[in-house]
Structure 1
């Protein structure tokens, strides 16, 4: 074996010598005859200096494993595992946390329903959080806000999974009109919620305070911090004086985080949520009925609305909502069936802008539909007139091809005014009274007075003649006795005024 090694070494040296001697100019000759520039000699490498830890080795926290310092050697097994790896908020140490852990752990049916409902939306939320570099604990926030119900509405009128108040939703460009409410939209509301949470974190520099502000309002948290600073007190989440709901808010999130981190410790079983998208976006180019979308996609209408909960009406206007969400496997089915559809219209409904104040009965007659159907499709309450400029959903004629404009799809509103209740009354005409003078006296139109009495609009009445008019019924003035309904009255008592006018729900966003 030694002889073989020596032979190989001699052969290598001989070949090297041949290569050198084969050069026509030798090693010291200039290389002017070569067209290629000479390769500069490689710089000498600095000797490698190993770095040793100064103290004993410490285990790596989950937060360190997600910040780019440490690469994971295995992919997440499911979405829960992926969420755990992204935990980056400091744990809240508070006596309310074990209390909320016990509350959730003792309600396995509630936890099961809530987590199963979240399976449609969690992947998208986690993707957005990771893209922004935000803690994945925030993906659990809708459990606290709405139990992941996109149709949830609080007593303070906060709506959607992320529970946006109307004004805050408008600030973050969540459209709220007669046809859709983007506070319930999965993509739009998630974008707005994460924008808001980032804004609050940048404002307070602390996730617990940012969450308190999300629930209570940034102004309220700012004032609470200022009061503590003035009194020489601490300004952390646990040290601020805040309402009970906000005091419980972060402990609730911490409790859910602890259960997700270690469900076995709480004897809880989380449903499997696979680590891949549940839905995908699909472009639409025409106004289209919700029922037709569900039919072409091969899904139930309620399943479609679970992914697209912002739509208030039975039709989707492409100019306002050019994309819809469909389950991953059904998106291609919908596109294939839509392309194969060659006849028939896509939308059965369009929008009519009401030219003047009118009754529901009159509007229904003009739209060519029953009053009950008009009320139902437009959610018109009883005893209301439709105000001029309102955008009403009405049947689309079979010859109409024009889709609803983007301005109307984004800004159409329905407004109402109380219907005036009138009573038939007869009055006696004075000397020289005419239809016009009676109309002026009672603030009516001459056309109505003439119509009610079957005379011309320029007719005159005889002295003492009875004239029929319909006058508004004036409600009796409230008195201390009248304000209390008598026994057997169907009129409900007015609710007592709340001191200070503060709503029972803390939401002030």
Structure 2
């Protein structure tokens, strides 16, 4: 079954009464096919360019351009009233449901017009972006309504990542909600060797809405809350204090802020306007039914990702789209006790899993390094090739695996137990550069001894004697050449940038405020 299609039968089983209401009312929500002309400079980006989220849609622009062919007419009536009512009429698709929950004040300025033109002049990109939201957007809307939050926020992943849960920014923000590592830990998103919950559909949405609620409670204004989500609450607080001291208005539009944040809310408003009335922008929205796309299914034993997809009868690509947090080819039940599957395939998986109760479903397990070792030595000990061990665990060349590291290795046939919870939750890989030595030559001075020479060059007298085949008390004459082994420049370079993969230690109980994404981006430039 393809992840992005549901049969009429499955829809009927889920919402028979809804479909009946639709048939009786004769409603139609399909928007007309776009016919806007575009100049060569306005052609839609390639798939590679458009999918490079969030940098492409978030690129700052200069002055608004006049592109009347794709801009809405000046007399268009876009109904953006908050929490509008439709009586007893059923909401036929998710877009109608989102429109019903609009509750933020509208922003209306040249930056909004500019972004409307940008999106409307790229119908292929906008369609691909909205289509990509299909598996996730119903769940987000459900959560927003449960919390009584504005449904405009369901559109925020369009701005953050173009609804790509695998998106990673240059500053290492990840997932469709674009959490920085530190901010993710602040909101209890686990990041370890086996999974990164910044990409998890359920957990990242929970954390993003927690964060947005916190910011709204802090500032009492959704536009300021959104600015803080992008720029950091501290930055917005200081900007407000600066305006207050200068007697300036305390609104989003009046704050002095980076271009990225200045365009942030206008982008969301532009997408909101297009969703509100797509025909005014000659834009087509894909039909996304107003019902759950996926179902959460519990697992109680370790299982390979490929095996899980096979038992659910879905493609590996579709399985990963719903379970993007998995960092490795195995799902550890102790750390990930549930998986998401397309609604109908959940039953298929449960039935197949029951029939495999006595079958080992995982070919991988976790292995704890007892000492600091070369990858080649680890590979021999666990019965794998060094190349495979490096690939599956992300170990670069010329790096040592430090003691206490957790590695994913082939599961021995005699090992029947699942990976323990403490490893599944806290597995991390620590690396250090191999020490590569090079030989240099030094000259002894009058009165030098091995001890004096060794101290001068940061080595031991015993090593200096060994390297030069001398006795520890050997007499040295002035000008005598001696060999010294020192770390190579490559070793020193690796030591400065030695990667640490998947640190899963739980954050300290003393939490600090999350830093802004833009601040952390600047820190890494």
Equivalent position of 1:65 in the other structure: 84
Distance in 2 of aligned mates of 1:475 and 1:406: 38
Matches within 5 A, 1:305-320: 305-320=320-335
* Aligned pairs for 1:189-228 within 5 A: 189-228=204-243
Candidates 82, 91, 99, aligned match of 2:106: 91
2:341 aligned with 1:322: no
Matches within 5 A, 1:40-439: 62-65=81-84, 72-423=87-438
Once the 2 structures are TM-superposed, how far is the Cα of residue 72 of structure 1 from its aligned partner? Answer: 2.5
User: What is the deviation of 1:174?
Assistant: 0.1
The TM-score normalised by the length of structure 1 is: 0.74
- Taking the aligned partners of 1:202 and 1:419, their CA distance within structure 2 comes to 50
Cα distance in 1 for partners of 2:102, 2:306 equals 41
Deviations 1:434-472 (A, max 9, x none): xxx9xx9955999xx99x99x9xxx999999x9999653
Count of matched residue positions in the alignment of Structure 1 and Structure 2: 413
> 1:189-210 CA deviation, whole Å, 9 max, x = no partner?
0000000000100100000000
User: How far did 1:382 drift?
Assistant: 2.2
Deviations 1:308-330, CA, capped at 9 Å, x for gaps: 00010000111111010011111
Structure 2: runs of 5+ lacking an equivalent: 1-78, 444-449, 494-517
Measure the CA separation in 1 of the matches of 2:359 and 2:83.
58
Give 3-state SS (helix, strand or coil) of 1:65's partner: coil
SS at match of 2:270: helix
Could you say if the C-alpha distance between residues 238 and 398 of structure 1 is closer, same or farther in structure 2, counting changes exceeding 3 Å? same
TM-score, reference length from structure 2: 0.72
Higher relative contact order (CA 8 A, sep 6+): 2
Do the aligned partners of residues 344 and 259 (structure 1) sit closer, same or farther apart at CA in structure 2, a change above 3 Å counting?
A: same
* SS of residue matched to 2:340: strand
Q: Is the 8 A contact 1:245 1:506 kept in 2?
A: no
Report the CA distance shift for 1:471/1:368 in structure 2 as closer, same or farther (over 3 A): farther
Q: Which secondary structure state, in structure 1, belongs to the residue aligned with residue 263 of structure 2?
A: helix
Structure 1 residues 445 and 386: alpha-carbon distance in aligned structure 2, compared to 1, 3 A threshold: farther
CA 372–126 in structure 1, closer or farther in 2 if over 3 Å, else same: same
Separation (CA, whole Å) in 2 of partners of 1:467 and 1:389 = 39
| Residues 354, 391 of structure 1: 8 Å contact kept | yes
Task: Work out the CA distance in 2 between the residues paired with 1:443 and 1:356.
Answer: 25
Q: Write the distance in 2 (CA, Å) between the matches of 1:103 and 1:117.
A: 19
Deviation string, structure 1 residues 139-162 (Cα, Å, up to 9, x no partner)? 000000000000111111111000
| Alpha-carbon displacement from aligned partner over 1:182-240 (angstroms, at most 9, x marks no partner) | 00000000000000000100100000000000000000000000000001111100000
Instruction: Give 1:473 shift.
Output: 2.5
Determine the structure 1 residue equivalent to 2:507. Answer: none
Cα distance in 1 between the residues matched to 2:112 and 2:147? 28
State whether residues 144 and 151 of structure 2, in contact with CA within 8 Å, keep that contact through their aligned partners in structure 1. yes
Contact 2:231 2:519 in 1 (8 A): no
Q: Are 1:155 and 1:504, in contact at CA under 8 Å, matched by a contact in 2?
A: no
> Within 2, Cα distance between the matches of 1:65 and 1:145?
27
- Equivalent residues in 2 for 1:468-483 (5 A)? 471-473=486-488
The answer to whether the 8 Å contact 1:87/1:137 transfers is: yes
Q: List aligned pairs for 1:482-501, cutoff 5 A.
A: none
1:347-369 Cα offsets, whole Å, 9 max, x none, are: 11111111222111111111211
Per the alignment, residue 7 of structure 1 pairs with none
RMSD: 3.5
Per-residue CA shift, 1:90-131, capped at 9, x if unaligned? 100221001000000000110111111100100000000010
The structure 1 segments of at least 4 consecutive aligned residues displaced by more than 3 Å after TM superposition are 423-428, 440-446, 459-464, 466-471, 474-478, 502-508
Most deviating of 311-320 and 412-421: 412-421
Q: CA 1:93–1:206 in 2, change beyond 3 Å: closer, same or farther?
A: same
Q: Is the contact between residue 80 and residue 102 of structure 2 (CA under 8 Å) also seen in structure 1? A: no
Larger-Rg structure? 1
In the TM superposition, what whole-angstrom CA distance separates every residue of 1:6-46 from its partner, at most 9, and x where no partner exists? xxxxxxxxxxxxxxxxxxxxxxxxxxxxxxxxxxxxxxxxx
